[in-house]
Amino acid sequence: MSDKNRYALRPIADPTLCLFEVKGEIDIRTSPELHDALMRAVADRPARLVLDLAGVTYMDSSGVGTLVEIKRQLERNDGTLVLAALREQVKGLFEITRLDKFFKIAASVEDARAL
């Protein structure tokens, strides 16, 4: 894991929810690492996986592709993916591509926990 990009599971008291914090840039160079980390989280079959994206400063199509794949994998296991706390630049990417209709997006981690 590079200094610029960090991915971490945050322990929480809710056993039905997995909270995953993502920081840095998600691009063609870093998305494989994120993919592997998220697949390890998905292997535990959480009912809900919340991605805290507040620390993500940039995302390209490879990052979006990773999130689409993770969402589909979760849904195969009857799980849900929620994206939380997107910065305006990243949120704009989802809006332009209309993926804001495909993903559940919450304004904050707290809001995501309530979904």
User: What does the alpha-carbon distance between residue 86 and residue 22 come to, in Å, rounded to a whole number?
Assistant: 11
User: What does the alpha-carbon distance between residue 89 and residue 112 come to, in Å, rounded to a whole number?
Assistant: 20
In a domain, residue 41? The reply is: yes
* CATH number for 69: 3.30.750.24
Walk along the chain (115 residues) and give the pLDDT tens digit of each residue: 444 557 766 756 677 789 999 999 999 999 999 999 999 989 989 999 999 999 999 999 999 999 999 999 999 999 999 999 999 999 999 999 999 999 999 999 999 988 8
Instruction: Report the number of distinct structural domains present in the chain.
Output: 1
In a domain, residue 11? The reply is: yes
Residues 6+ apart with CB under 8 A from 100: 91, 94
Q: What pairing do the DSSP bridges indicate for beta strands 104-106 and 80-84?
A: parallel
Question: What's the whole-model pTM score?
Answer: 0.90
In a domain, residue 1? The reply is: no
Q: Give the domain extent around 40.
A: 6-114
Tokens read off for 18: 């997995």
Whole-Å CA distances, 96 to 25, 72, 80, 88, 109? 19, 21, 23, 12, 23
User: What does the alpha-carbon distance between residue 85 and residue 106 come to, in Å, rounded to a whole number?
Assistant: 6
Torsion, CA 108, CA 9, CA 103, CA 44, rounded to 10:
-140
